[in-house]
Amino acid sequence: MESFTVPDIHEPPHNVFHLHDPGALLRKLAWEIRQLSRSTAPDAKRSVSELLSPAYCAFNCAVTAWHIADWTWQSADEETQRRMADKLGFSLVSNDGKNFERFASAICERSRALKICREIANGSKHKKLRKPEESIRARSRFNPVVEPHGRFQIGDYMLELTV
């Protein structure tokens, strides 16, 4: 039996499995992206239970990517939050509870990818959003295979994911 060394980690929050800081979430996102890539590989076996695997993996990637923003804000001390606010061009307001929302809006203005991830993550939590972005729509659809590729044969179906 092969042995391994348990990595030295910081203590995670009491309500989280093994994640302790934004870097840990970034490593989780990298792992999820690898899972997504594997799930969409043409040589991947496809059982009925695995047909939706790419959609589940894409969903997990979007949620984790968006949560990195939340963890970044929550992990930052006041000085770092102030520097982020200055760099992103928004003002911090003490005790109004909306500084993270300002931060989130500012980073979404600069990154359409994060804006999409935010929409998917919040949509997954609430099902319907109060103020959804009309331009963002995540879709999954099964398309028939028209040309054999890897283990996919004519008559099989592949899941297409689009945003």
pLDDT, residue 13, reads 59
Calpha distance 24→158 (Å, rounded): 32
Q: CB under 8 Å, gap of 24 or more: what pairs does 32-38 form?
A: 32/57, 32/60, 32/61, 32/64, 33/61, 35/60, 36/60, 36/61
Instruction: Look over the chain and give the mean of its residue pLDDT values, rounded to a whole number.
Output: 82
pLDDT, residue 6, reads 46
pLDDT, residue 103, reads 96
What's the whole-model pTM score?
A: 0.78
Domain borders along the chain are 22-38+49-128
The model's pLDDT over 17-36, given as tens digits with 9 standing for 90+, comes to 667 788 888 999 999 999 99
pLDDT, residue 108, reads 95
The answer, yes or no, to whether residue 106 has pLDDT greater than 70, is yes
